[in-house]
Amino acid sequence: MKNDKKLIRCEWCLRSPEEMHYHDHEWGVPKHDDQVLFEYLILDAFQAGLSWTTIIRKRENFRKAFDQFNAEKIARYGSKQFERLMNDAGIIRNRQKIEASIRNAKGYLKIQEEFGSFDKFIWQFTGNKTFVGKRKSMKDIPATSAESDAMSKELKRRGFGFVGSTICYAFMQAAGMVNDHKVSCFRYKEV
């Protein structure tokens, strides 16, 4: 059923099979697993200025390069691991984004310690519920929201990098904090 080309989907996912699979199985589904939330945080930061197609096609490479997004390992990365990442053609080799990923892993661990979980911290920005966008067109989807503004501000205050409001909004969409599937999309009611 999910591969049925007659299903109505959000247009953004029609560019590649990888994006369609991501759309059909992950995007907008509420996530509460800290490991998954951390992965999304890292991937959305790397997407800044790039297409999601680029990131989704390199996702497995990112998983290998970043120790399956194990925050405890990433937080301990030193110059050797940093240089390994800078030389890894399978990922986006951006010095600032790699540095931010290491810094964000440290911040993520501090948040887990303070709040008991990253999930508890991050979902507070939507009052622990999913906002339903009721979008009729892709043009109706905003790039930011008051909630993503607040999330961005708090993450930056805690030393995170590449967490502007647009990146935070994309994270919220991916993590199911916002359901921005078009109302005509078959996934709208499913998530």
**pLDDT by residue, tens only, the chain of 191 residues:** 455 668 999 999 999 999 999 999 999 999 999 999 999 999 999 999 999 999 999 999 999 999 999 999 999 999 999 999 999 999 999 999 999 999 999 999 999 999 999 999 999 999 999 999 999 999 999 999 999 999 999 999 999 999 999 999 999 999 999 999 999 999 999 99
Q: Taking the model in full, what pTM does it have?
A: 0.95
Going from the C-alpha of 74 to that of each of 30, 49, 96, 118, the distances in angstroms are 25, 23, 15, 16
Give the domain 14-190 fold: Endonuclease III; domain 1 (1.10.340)
Burial of 26 (0-12, 13-18, 19+ CB in 10 A): middle
Residue boundaries of the structural domains of the chain: 14-190
